[in-house]
Amino acid sequence: MPESYVTNHTEKGDISISEDVVALMVSAAISEIEGVSGLSNPTSTDLAERFGLKNAARGIRISSEGDVITVDVAIMVRYGYGVTVTAKKIQEQAAASVESMTGLAVRVNVHVTGIAFDKADMKG
């Protein structure tokens, strides 16, 4: 399957950025946020991998329409952290990171798929 690109149309020509590169930007931004246990694989991982959708398999899906990039992120939140607070931090940090590197507007949808418990949390 051909690789997908996000394209920025400028007066001097087009700039195309691989969706995989955008996904790496998002992943790096998310890794810095306290309370995120990690990306989670959506239930359609096997199907996504069959069709070559690597980003979907990693928990990040990128799409674009015009000059707006839409990022869908599936995450696990660590037990003890506010789900909404953590999700808002992801939206802010991922959008700022991608916007500063691409020059395009970014919309970030966060899908919290579960809570991750540390082993220490499980001891009673």
CA angle 12, 96, 5 (to 5 degrees): 45
pLDDT one-digit tens code per residue, 40-52: 876 554 444 544 4
Q: What's the domain count of the chain? A: 1
Distance between first and last Cα of the chain:
50
pLDDT one-digit tens code per residue, 38-82: 998 765 544 445 444 455 557 999 999 888 999 999 999 999 999
**pTM for the whole thing?**
0.81
Instruction: State the CB neighbour count (10 A cutoff) for residue 61.
Output: 21
Asked whether 37 and 75 are in contact (CB, 8 A), the reply is: yes
The range of the structural domain enclosing residue 92 comes to 5-122
Q: Looking at the predicted structure, is the pLDDT value of residue 119 above 60?
A: yes
94: domain CATH number is: 3.30.70.1350
Asked whether 78 and 116 are in contact (CB, 8 A), the reply is: yes
Burial of 13 (0-12, 13-18, 19+ CB in 10 A): exposed
